[in-house]
Chain A
């Protein structure tokens, strides 16, 4: 899921990455809406709200909403910085680090929410900031490593592309195009995973509250360790079967 970069990624890689990260994003977004009455994974709405707050002259709200938009941008910035600067050293580590930071952010929200949350507006703004930053990191990473094929935190583009694709499928030459069918599969998977994550989180939140963020983190840990396991497993096999060890360093690249 995380080892391969850009055009070397297969449809299967993108579908797996898209499904797991979209499921997590759906969970985070519904959690932020239920707890804090604000979205964390889609910023289009925040841009609209920013415009309306500017019209109303609510400077405090302008600063808060602008801060959230900036943090989503900054998440994407940090993600891509890590990817492009560390890709030549270790692809896996360069791609796994933003997910690890995202996990730290979400665990912080879960832990603080479970033990210290007093329900104040300042806490709402700060915890939501962490979630928005985490979503920016995730979206920046998936878009960066998949050549913008996988974007999982919001579905505006996905829904538009699905509409375009399904219109194209009314013609047999497009229907039989393997690449377009693959794209439709990927986008449908992302949309389904996102809604599944959101619905399941909505039900689960009522029972477990802030501990929901630990579950989201487990999904992201799977994303990280799926490739780590594969790398370790391959190394183990090559060491024991062929007696010609493939250097972990080379494999990690």
Chain B
């Protein structure tokens, strides 16, 4: 009986603290909602044998190398709407897609209307700053990194 009470108390405490933390912290879905401006593109890592001196590349050069095959290439502003829609705004062009967050809140999945799907690893997500990583295999294999700031 004593052990049953001890076990029950321990389990209840674990579950309660787990729920308390979940309730007190905003979910990644809540944090990401709103407008974000693209700040920089860079190579986080690169295949060493490709001999690319990527550290000296500026953001625009990296964007041209990495992003040309990506739909987000032209977007300078990203607006995450609460209904799961994403507005990719680049100059006069606005492209609509669906966004979802997966896993433990570490994957941003973007689905375009033509059925194309892109997955980004959420490396950092706070109220003011967002950093997305993605596998890059255009021209040079590596990990690309996109940084945003909230508008």
A residues adjacent to B (C-beta < 8 A): 36-38, 49, 53, 56, 59-67, 70, 74, 119-122, 124-125
Contacts and interface: CB of A to CB of B under 8 A. Distances in A.
B104 interface: yes
9 nearest interchain CB pairs?
A37-B103, A63-B21, A60-B25, A37-B102, A37-B107, A38-B103, A64-B104, A121-B101, A59-B25
Contact of A61 (B14, B29, B102, B106): B106
Interface residues on B, range: 20 to 34
Most chain-A CB neighbours within 10 Å: which of B14, B103, B104, B119?
B104
Contacts of B24: 59
B21 A59 contact: yes
B106 A63 contact: no
Nearest to A39: B103
B14 A70 contact: yes
A67 B28 contact: no
Interface of B is mostly: mixed
Contacts of A49: 104
Interface in B99-115: 100-107
Contacts of B14: 70
Contacts of B27: 60, 121-122
Nearest to B11: A74
A63 B21 CA distance: 6
The residue in B25, B102, B103, B124 that gathers the most chain A C-beta atoms within 10 A of its C-beta is B103
The listed residue with most B CB atoms (<10 A of its CB), out of A49, A61, A62, A122, is A61
Contacts of B91: none
A46 to B, nearest CB: 9
B5 to A, nearest CB: 16
A62 B107 contact: no
Given A60-B105, A121-B100, 16 more contacts: A36-B103, A37-B107, A38-B102, A56-B124, A59-B21, A59-B25, A60-B25, A60-B28, A63-B18, A63-B21, A63-B22, A67-B22, A119-B84, A120-B29, A121-B101, A122-B27
A62 B22 CA distance: 9
A37 B21 contact: no
Contacts of A59: 21, 24-25
Interface in B58-90: 84
B103 A124 contact: yes
A67 B24 CA distance: 15
B124 to A, nearest CB: 8
Contact of A36 (B21, B29, B102): B102
Nearest to A57: B126
Contacts of B119: 37
A219 B30 CA distance: 39
Interface in B1-16: 11, 14
Nearest to A60: B25
Contacts of A124: 102-103
Contacts of B106: 37, 61
A121 B105 contact: yes
B29 A60 contact: no
Contacts of A56: 124
A55 to B, nearest CB: 13
Nearest to B125: A58
A66 B21 CA distance: 11
A121 B25 CA distance: 14
A121 B28 contact: yes
Contacts of A61: 104-106
